[in-house]
Amino acid sequence: MYGKTAERVRELIREICLSNNDQILKGHISKDNVHIIVSNSPYLSESKLMQYIKGKTSRKLLMEFPEISKKYWCRHMWGRGYFGASSGNVTDEVIMQYIKIQDVEERKKEDDFQISP
């Protein structure tokens, strides 16, 4: 994802997290991945948050960007799985450093931006 599509994904993820009282600590959108660190509300499970993010973003993007709709006709926009973990054994700083490395590597390839302001 890049350009207006990536910007729209970023906006939608922010909206979803805000509506669920979750805080985005760090994030990165690349052409084929989205990395985010979220301080998750105790009232919403990680899997439910991912369901909201994947469901809302795919539905909105397919409606708003016809070229994406043509590309993913009768297929899923997002992969079935996701990786989620709570920090503890690995500190938040280590995870943020990993996302920062993704930023650096991706900038070498093409334009990108942060999810968090």
Contacts of 99 (CB under 8 A, 6+ apart): 26, 27, 28, 35, 37
Domain range list for the chain: 3-109
Q: What is the pLDDT of residue 73?
A: 60
Distance from C-alpha of 58 to C-alpha of 41, rounded to nearest angstrom: 23
pLDDT, mean over the chain? 80
Q: What is the pLDDT of residues 38-58, one digit of tens each?
A: 888 888 888 999 999 999 998
Q: Is the distance from CB of 72 to CB of 12 less than 8 angstroms?
A: no
pTM given for the model:
0.73
Query: What is the pLDDT, as a whole number, of residue 64?
Result: 87
- The H-or-E segment that residue 34 falls in is strand 34-39
Helical packing angle, 46-64 and 3-19, nearest 10° = 140
- Per the CATH hierarchy, to which homologous superfamily does domain 3-109 belong? Transposase IS200-like (3.30.70.1290)
Alpha carbon distance 13, 26 (integer Å) = 12
